Amino acid sequence: NVVMIIPKTIRLNNKLKNANAELYNFMEEKGFFRICVAAVLDKSGAVGMIGVVNPMVNMRVSELLKEVAVCFSIAIKNKKYLHKTEYVANTDALTGLKNRTSFNRDLALAEKDFSSKYVCVYVDVNELHIFNFKYGHDAGDKMLITIADIFKELFSEYPIYRVGGDEYVVLAKDADINEIRKRVAESKEKSIENGYNISAGVSESGMSV
């Protein structure tokens, strides 16, 4: 159900000029002599604002905004659903990293981006199968999540993907390869501190390093 706060009318007058000179100047510049606005909330918690600029005399603004509020709420709900669907389709459920589908799409775009350089980090988590067999899958999952969190921390500004069971990729656009190497070395140290071991390779613009 949609809840709309009773519309409030803002008029271009001296009272507004004294109370909010910035808004007054904005309305004067845009030619707005009257604005009717209302807040909109729905049961999912969505919040927004709708309004009418320079409504005609005798216009039933409240009734109009109520009708628009319903459509507004539906649009918000649909956008949230679409965002959630896209997130699920492109995110690895265990680690929260981007998944292989997302990687294949981004890689195809990167291959067409001739104006930029890319540094790619390929990571393999060692002994995952041993952890799963010896300690159980929960221990293996903990290993994967821990490694993912380490890379999220060290490569926060770049997209990170889980492209296989124990394989991660970082795709760093216009990155300094020496800086990336330092971060890879740090990620190995942090992994060891947590009782794990990873192998990692770095390549830049098609040249293996």
Q: What is the pLDDT of residue 209?
A: 41
Q: Looking up tokens 């910035």, which residue turns up?
A: 22
Alpha carbons 90 and 101: distance in angstroms, whole number: 6
Residue with tokens 């990873």: 198
Closest CA to 40 of 9, 62, 20, 60: 62
pLDDT in single tens digits along all 209 residues of the chain: 667 777 888 999 999 999 999 999 999 999 999 998 888 877 776 677 888 999 887 788 888 888 887 787 778 778 878 888 888 899 999 999 999 999 999 999 998 888 889 999 999 999 998 888 889 999 999 999 999 999 999 999 999 999 999 999 999 999 999 999 999 999 999 999 999 999 999 998 754 44
Give the whole-angstrom CA distance, residue 155 versus residue 174: 13
- At residue 208, the pLDDT reads 43
DSSP of the chain:
-EEEPPPEEEE-SHHHHHH-HHHHHHHHHHT-SEEEEEEEEETT--EEEEEEESPPTT--HHHHHHHHHHHHHHHHHHHHHHHHHHHHHHB-TTT-SB-HHHHHHHHHHHHT-TTS-EEEEEEEETTHHHHHHHH-HHHHHHHHHHHHHHHHHHTTTS-EEE-SSSEEEEEEET--HHHHHHHHHHHHHHHHHTT--EEEEEEETTEE-
d(CA 169, CA 198): 12
Strands 8-11 and 34-42: what pairing?
antiparallel
Integer distance in angstroms from the first to the last C-alpha of the chain?
58
